[in-house]
Structure 1
Amino acid sequence: MTPEQIDMVQGSFAKVVPIKDAAAAIFYARLFEIAPEVKPYFKGDMTEQGAKLMATLGVVVNGLKNLDAIVPVAQKLAVGHVAYGVKPEDYQSVGAALLYTLGQGLGDGFTPEVEAAWTEAYTILSGVMIGAAYPAAAE
């Protein structure tokens, strides 16, 4: 990622933080709409799950300038998600739901450039996560 893309991701996420609860609700509603097969992975309180999602996104977004620090955390998270039944192909639906959520939350601020920056960030991180959790799928 370029420094400009990192700045765009971080700047746009800062605008989502004030509406993080609504953003999390939008994210999961969209995820379950486009990938209903993932709903059984979530057995707990969805409000709490949304808070965890937004906190994790915050750590990742804030760490984009130091990928060496966040990659091991993302890898560990991905390996842990295997136990919930998460499959490599689920990452595509999560990425689509994330971009949709950002579009809803940012409105006109979700420019093609911001979308491209988020897509790049998600592609990098999901690739690392899939590689850690499913080494055969990453090949």
Structure 2
Amino acid sequence: MTPDQITLIQDSFAKVAPISDAAAEIFYARLFEIAPEVKPYFTNDMTEQGAKLMATLGVVVKGLRDLDKIVPVAQQLAVKHVDYGVKAEDYAPVGASLIYTLEKGLGDDFTPDLKDAWTEAYTVLSGVMIEAAYGQAAAE
């Protein structure tokens, strides 16, 4: 990720944060639509789950300029998610749902450059998470 991409991501997330409840609803609705097999992973209150998602995303976005601090947290989170039944292949629909949510939430502000920046960030972090949870072969 370039410094400009990080700036784009952080600026765009600042626009999403005020609509975090709606963004979380869009995210999970889309995720369950394109990957219904992941729905059983979510047994808690979805409003609470959405708040956790947005809080975690906020921490990651804020820390993108210091990946050395974010990566270990992301790795721990990935390992923990294995206990919930999450598989390596579940990361792709999560990424697609994230991009969809940003596109819907930001409207015309979701430019191709912004999409590329978010896609790059998700690809990097999900790769690290998949490797931590499932090994190098799964991350490739």
Name the TM-score, length of structure 1 as normaliser: 0.99
Map 1:109-120 to 2 at 5 A: 109-120=109-120
Which residue does the alignment assign to 2:76? 76
CA distance in 2, matches of 1:40, 1:84: 9
How many residue pairs were aligned?
139
Map 1:81-120 to 2 at 5 A: 81-120=81-120
Aligned to 2:116, the other structure's residue is in SS state helix
Name the TM-score, length of structure 2 as normaliser: 0.98
CA distance in 2, matches of 1:51, 1:7: 23
Q: 1:137 offset after TM fit, Å?
A: 1.4
Q: Which runs of 4 or more aligned residues in structure 1 lie more than 2 Å from their structure 2 counterparts after TM superposition?
A: none
Residues 51-86 of structure 1: CA deviation (Å, up to 9, x unaligned): 000000000000000000000000000000000000
Q: 1:138 offset after TM fit, Å?
A: 2.5
CA distance in 2, matches of 1:2, 1:42: 34
Read off the aligned partner of 1:22 and give its amino acid letter: A
Aligned to 1:89, the other structure's residue is in SS state helix
CA distance in 1, matches of 2:44, 2:92: 23
Which residue does the alignment assign to 1:12? 12
Which residue does the alignment assign to 2:139? 138
Which residue does the alignment assign to 1:35? 35
Q: Which runs of 5+ in 1 are unaligned?
A: none
CA distance in 2, matches of 1:129, 1:137: 10
Which residue does the alignment assign to 1:51? 51
The alignment-based identity, stated in percent, is 77
Aligned to 1:131, the other structure's residue is in SS state helix
CA distance in 2, matches of 1:63, 1:131: 20
CA distance in 1, matches of 2:115, 2:9: 9
Q: 1:34 offset after TM fit, Å?
A: 0.2
Read off the aligned partner of 1:120 and give its amino acid letter: E
User: Root-mean-square deviation (CA), in Å?
Assistant: 0.6
